[in-house]
C-alpha cells in the first residue's frame, strides 16, 4: 500500500526533475546553437569576420565582418570603464571609511537609484543632454551612456570588496603613520587586488553586452571605422540589432557571426573574472 505522503513526495520529485531538465535543455540549446551557427558563419569568413564590414543586402552569401562595430564596442566600453573605475575606487573607499554618516547614506541611495535606471531611459537622457546639443550621435555619447551603466555597478562591487578587508590591516596601516590616501593606495588597493580585478571584468562584460543605452547615442555607422570620438559609430550589440531587424535574409543570417563574436568576448571576460578571483591574492 503506497501512502498518500509517498505519492506526494514522488510527485514533487517528478515535477522538479522534469522542469529542471527542460530549463537545462533550453539553456544548453542556446549555447549550442550560438556556437554551431556562429561557427558556420565564422568558417565561411575566416579572419575577415573580425575586420571586414557587414554584407550588403544584395549579396548572395553572408560574407562580411564586424570590424567597425567591434572597434566601436571596444572603444566605448573601454572608455566607460576607464573613467568609472578610479571614480568608483575613491568613492567606494570613501563610503566604507565614513560608514555611519548620513551624508554617506544619501550618496549610497543616490547611486542605488542610478543602478535602477532602465537602460532605455539612460539612452534617452544622454540623447537629450549630449546628442542634441552636439547635433550628432557619437562614440562619446555612447561611452557616456555606458559610463552611467558601469558606475553604480562598479561602486557596489568595490564597496563590497573594501568593506570585507579585515579591520586589523587598516589599523596596522594607520599605526605606521599612513594617512587616508596612503592607506587606500598602499594597503587597501594591494589587499583587494583580485576582488577589484574580478569586479572590473564583470562590469566590462556587462557593459559590452548592453544594447539599449547605445542604441540612440552611438549612431548607425556599421560600415566605417571610427576616426574620432565625436563621430557616430556602432557597437556589436547595435549591429546585431540592426541585422536582426533587416528584411534581407543574407544580413539576418550574417548576424550569427556577430552573435558569436559577442558571445566569445563575453565568455572570455566571464572566465577571466573567475580566474582572477583565485589566483592573485
| Binding region for another protein (CB under 8 A) out of 86-94, 156-164, 199-207, 226-234 | 199-207
- Is 281 a binding residue for another protein by CB under 8 A? The answer is yes
The grid coordinates of residue 53 equal 564590414
* 219 within 8 A of 234, measured Cβ to Cβ: yes
- Residues with Cβ within 8 Å of 111's Cβ and at least 6 positions away in sequence, in order, are 151, 152, 155, 156
Q: Is 158 in the site for another protein (CB under 8 A)?
A: no
Establish if 190 lies at the interface with another protein (CB under 8 A): yes
Q: Which three cell numbers stand for residue 159?
A: 564597496
Q: Is 248 in the site for another protein (CB under 8 A)?
A: no
The DSSP output letter for 52 is S
Asked if 149 interacts with another protein (CB under 8 A), we say no
Distances (CA, A) of 116 to 111, 119, 153, 187: 9, 9, 10, 32
User: In terms of CB distance, is 54 or 227 closer to another protein?
Assistant: 54
Binding residue (CB under 8 A) for another protein from 31, 43, 86, 90: 31
Tell the smallest beta-carbon distance from residue 148 to another protein (Å).
12
Q: Which of 78, 94, 193, 197 binds another protein (CB under 8 A)?
A: 193
Of the residues 94, 209, 248, 275, which one makes contact with another protein according to CB under 8 A: 209
Which of 138, 143, 198, 210 forms a contact with another protein (CB under 8 A)? 210
- Closer Cβ to another protein, 3 or 227, answer by number: 3
SS3 category, 97: helix
Cβ burial of 97 (10 Å; 0-12, 13-18, 19+) is: middle
Positions in 48-67 near another protein (CB under 8 A): none
Q: How many whole angstroms separate alpha carbon 190 and alpha carbon 196?
A: 10
CA 259 distance to own-chain centroid: 15
**Cα separations (Å) of 269 from 199, 205, 234, 265?**
11, 6, 21, 6
Contact 84, 75 (CB under 8 A): no
Please give the Cα distance from 124 to 139 (Å, whole number). Answer: 15
Nearer to another protein, 78 or 182 (CB): 182
Nearest to 122 by CA among 238, 236, 214: 214
**The binder of another protein chosen from 7, 13, 56, 106 (CB under 8 A):** 13
Least separation in angstroms between residue 263's CB and another protein is 6
CB nearer another protein, residue 177 or residue 228: 177
Per-residue binding string, another protein, 90-129, x by CB under 8 A, is ----------x-----------xx-xxxxxxx--xx--x-
Q: Which is nearer to another protein, 147 or 262 (CB)?
A: 262
The single residue among 39, 172, 224, 268 that binds another protein, judged by CB under 8 A, is: 172
Cβ closer to another protein: 58 or 175? 175
Amino acid at each position: 500500500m503506497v501512502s498518500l505522503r509517498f505519492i506526494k513526495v514522488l510527485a514533487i520529485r517528478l515535477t522538479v526533475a522534469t522542469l529542471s531538465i527542460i530549463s537545462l535543455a533550453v539553456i544548453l540549446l542556446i549555447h549550442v546553437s550560438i556556437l554551431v551557427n556562429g561557427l558556420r558563419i565564422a568558417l565561411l569568413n575566416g579572419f575577415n569576420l573580425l575586420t571586414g564590414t557587414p554584407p550588403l543586402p544584395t549579396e548572395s552569401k553572408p560574407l562580411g565582418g564586424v570590424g567597425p562595430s567591434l572597434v566601436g564596442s571596444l572603444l566605448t566600453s573601454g572608455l566607460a570603464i576607464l573613467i568609472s573605475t578610479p571614480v568608483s575606487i575613491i568613492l567606494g573607499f570613501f563610503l566604507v571609511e565614513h560608514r555611519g554618516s548620513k551624508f554617506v547614506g544619501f550618496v549610497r541611495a543616490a547611486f542605488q537609484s542610478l543602478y535602477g535606471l532602465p537602460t532605455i531611459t539612460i539612452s534617452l537622457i544622454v540623447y537629450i543632454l549630449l546628442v542634441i546639443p552636439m547635433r550628432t550621435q557619437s562614440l562619446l555619447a555612447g561611452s557616456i551612456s555606458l559610463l552611467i551603466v558601469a558606475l553604480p555597478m562598479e561602486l557596489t562591487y568595490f564597496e563590497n570588496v573594501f568593506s570585507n578587508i579585515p579591520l586589523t590591516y587598516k589599523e596596522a596601516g594607520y599605526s605606521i603613520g599612513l594617512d587616508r590616501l596612503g592607506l587606500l593606495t598602499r594597503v587597501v588597493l594591494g589587499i583587494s587586488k583580485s576582488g577589484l580585478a574580478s569586479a572590473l571584468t564583470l562590469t566590462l562584460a556587462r557593459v559590452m553586452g548592453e544594447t539599449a543605452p547605445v542604441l540612440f547615442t552611438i549612431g548607425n555607422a556599421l560600415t566605417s571605422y571610427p576616426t574620432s570620438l565625436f563621430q557616430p559609430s556602432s557597437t556589436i550589440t547595435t549591429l546585431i540589432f540592426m541585422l536582426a531587424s533587416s528584411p534581407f535574409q543574407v544580413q539576418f543570417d550574417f548576424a550569427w557571426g556577430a552573435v558569436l563574436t559577442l558571445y566569445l568576448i563575453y565568455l572570455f571576460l566571464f572566465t577571466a573574472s573567475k580566474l582572477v578571483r583565485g589566483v592573485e591574492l
